[in-house]
A = this chain, B = another copy of it.
Amino acid sequence: MNAIVISCGTELVTGQCVDTNSAWLSTRLTAVGVHVVGHVTVGDDAARLSAAIRRALDEAELVIITGGLGPTPDDLTREAIAEAIHEPLQENAEALSQIRGFFERWQRPMPESNRRQAMTPRGCEVIANSRGTAPGILYRKDHRRLYALPGVPAELKAMFDSALAPMLDELSGGSRIESARLPCFGISEARLGDVLADLMRPGRNPAVGTTASQAILSIRVLAHGSSQAEARRLLDNDVAEIRRRVGEPIFGEGEDTLEGVVGALLRARGETISVAESCTGGLLAKRLTDIPGSSDYFLQGYITYSNASKMDLLGVPQALLTEHGAVSEAVARAMAAGCRERAGTDYAIAITGIAGPTGGSPPSHPVGLVYIALAHSGGVEVVRHLLGEHLTRDEVRDRACKVALNMLRLQLVARSGGPP
């Protein structure tokens, strides 16, 4: 089944809002085997929206419109559908009763303007909205279906789950799809491509692909089966094979993050962490404490931006700073050791580097040069990375934190007896 998603709103075509609904819908549609062939966005313009609807109904069996169902005059989806399917708008008694019911539950009087939301093209069905006033609309013609859903994400998602998901499950019938994502860090996309070449060949089932975003690579596996059990078996086989071939760079599954995985490992081991940050300026601590409950293992952090603070807070000897400079292996090592000792934690991470855009002095000290040190009971490991002068300040800081979290992850995995 082919699908097209149409988003409606002037705030989208002027760029004031980013359209996240289309991606959300596409994820859900793709997961049940629907082939989303395109997204279309138009402003609050009934003629353009109507033309987009007609064209989409020609090209796809399933068309989903989001937005334009509100009570104000710039909400034109009802009119556009009516025009596209050549039916008049009529007040729908069921829709009106749903809208009245919403205001009764909310214990507020219904403004007259909300009555507009009960207008639907003749012959269309109404879909209940559990989270707001705008009823959805369903138009069926032969094997084609057009759904109009609200643009407010919470209302859209609730209505999709109640009205579309069961229909899609039914339509997908025997044939089932199961999918997985394996996030990786510390391996290049080219290397992944080599290792997984035979699994990634076009047309194979399961389909295996890789995508990269902010230095995190994702291996995505999509398995089709004649039953859910078959799809799951195919998926599990591939996931196991991929884990075997790629090994340690795979740090989790699904929506796992490096900070989440590191946090779970620390919690499981009952161990603690502290950080000492120079160029990342708090970002590493922020990431670690993004995780609810991180106070169980994250105790404290030092942001030592100045040389004086590296000496005062971490006990880095002045001689080291003078001899090697603040961005050096020796200083990273002393920062991590000082941090671990003073914070009294099992692990300590230190980062010092040149985030840019200024402050670099190539070739020895370009922007993107970072030293990352991990102190633990066995000593202090230090790595030097040239993250690349083409990266922005934000990117240098992001990458440095990811390298640091991954060093800690590998140490924790090794101490826990290797990957699960």
8 further contact pairs, Cβ within 8 A, besides A17-B23, A38-B48: A12-B39, A13-B39, A15-B26, A38-B43, A154-B392, A277-B285, A300-B306, A302-B313
Main secondary structure of the interface of A (DSSP, over half): mixed
Q: A353-388 CB contact bits vs B (8 Å, 1 = yes)?
A: 001111000000000000000000000000000001
Q: Is the CB of B26 within 8 A of A14?
A: yes
In angstroms, how far is the closest chain B Cβ from the Cβ of A196? 14
Contact of A281 among B14, B17, B280, B294 (CB under 8 A): B294
Q: A14-46 CB contact bits vs B (8 Å, 1 = yes)?
A: 111111101111111110000011111111010
A393 in the interface (beta carbon within 8 A): yes
Contact of A30 among B15, B38, B48, B282 (CB under 8 A): B15
User: Given the known A-B contacts A48-B37, A282-B286, are A19 and B23 also in contact in the complex, defined by CB atoms under 8 Å?
Assistant: yes
* Chain B residues within an 8 Å CB radius of A300: 302-306, 309, 312-313
A343 in the interface (beta carbon within 8 A): yes
Looking across the interface, which residue of chain B has its beta carbon closest to that of A272?
B306
A237 in the interface (beta carbon within 8 A): no
Question: How many chain A residues touch B (Cβ–Cβ < 8 Å)?
Answer: 78
In angstroms, how far is the closest chain B Cβ from the Cβ of A52? 7
Q: Is the CB of B299 within 8 A of A289?
A: no
Looking across the interface, which residue of chain B has its beta carbon closest to that of A102?
B390
Instruction: List the 4 shortest-distance A-B pairs measured between CB atoms, nearest first.
Output: A281-B289, A282-B285, A15-B26, A301-B303
